[in-house]
Each structure stands twice: as C-alpha cells, then as structure tokens.
Amino acid sequence: MRYFLKTQRGQPATELDEATGAAILDRGRHEGRRVVEVFVLHPDGRIDRYQERARRKLGSNAIISRTWLCETYFPDRPDRWGDDRYIPSPEEAIREADPAPEAVVLVLIGAEEDDAPVLEQLTGLQARR
C-alpha cells in the first residue's frame, strides 16, 4: 500500500514510505497537525473520502466524540460524492478492507477541502496500473 501526505492546499500530496504513513494514520497526527481527511484508492478504482466530524456538547466547545463521514466518489454524478456513511475510524476501515487499498492520502488540518489535486493524483495512479 502506498501512502501520501497532503500538507497544504493547492498542492499534490507527497509520497511517504509505508512505515511512516502507517504511523501517521495510527497516531492521527504529524508534526503537531491533526489528520482531518483521508482519501483511499481501492483496487477496483473506487475512491473513498473520510472526513473527521466532531460532536460538541450543547452550549459548549467541549468535544464529546469524534466520528468520520465516509463518502464514495462518483465522477459521473453532478454532486460527485455520495453513499454517505459514518464510521468510528478510518484506520479500522483501511485495515479491514479486503482486498487492501492501493493508496491512502492523509490530509492534515489546513490542507483540507481541496479535493481536486488529490482526486487527480489518485486517478493518475489508477491509470498507470
């Protein structure tokens, strides 16, 4: 499995070695910045996006829990992202995926909500195989 790290908007993700990528995914942090989005390229060409969602206590900024919204990319649809579902953590979903994903892009806070370079990079990887 190949790992990539996206640290800023408007730029493609840089490739990491597998051990470093797996460690960042497990910790959920890199150099003091949280991983807030994860893109996964599956062997069948499907691309999933996981986005962190924090639930807060009513009337407070205190975070009660974190969950992840998982969406699948549909290039032919006008809204492009669909099949919404919530999961406890992307690490588990990636670990349990059978067959294992081909590539994982970890997006740090501050580089989120910039899908175009990531989708272009992942579709390019898919086209090269």
Cα–Cα distance for residue pair 7/115, rounded to 1 Å: 13
Q: What is the pLDDT of residue 125?
A: 85
Which two tokens mark 46?
């499907």
Q: Tell me the Cα Rg of the chain.
A: 14
| Continuous H helices in the chain | 18-27, 90-96, 115-128
Phi-psi region at 117: left, alpha or beta (left = phi > 0; alpha = psi -120 to 50): alpha
Q: What is the pLDDT of residue 129?
A: 61
Q: What is the pLDDT of residue 55?
A: 76
Which two tokens mark 76?
């032919």
Looking at residue 123, the DSSP 8-state letter turns out to be H
Q: What are the backbone angles phi and psi of residue 65, rounded to the nearest 5°?
A: -160, 165
Please list the ranges in the chain whose pLDDT falls under 70.
63, 127-129
- Look at residues 114, 127, 129 and name the one whose alpha carbon lies nearest to residue 12: 114
Task: Indicate the domain borders of the chain.
Answer: 2-128
Which two tokens mark 89?
């953590």
Which two tokens mark 29?
């942090």
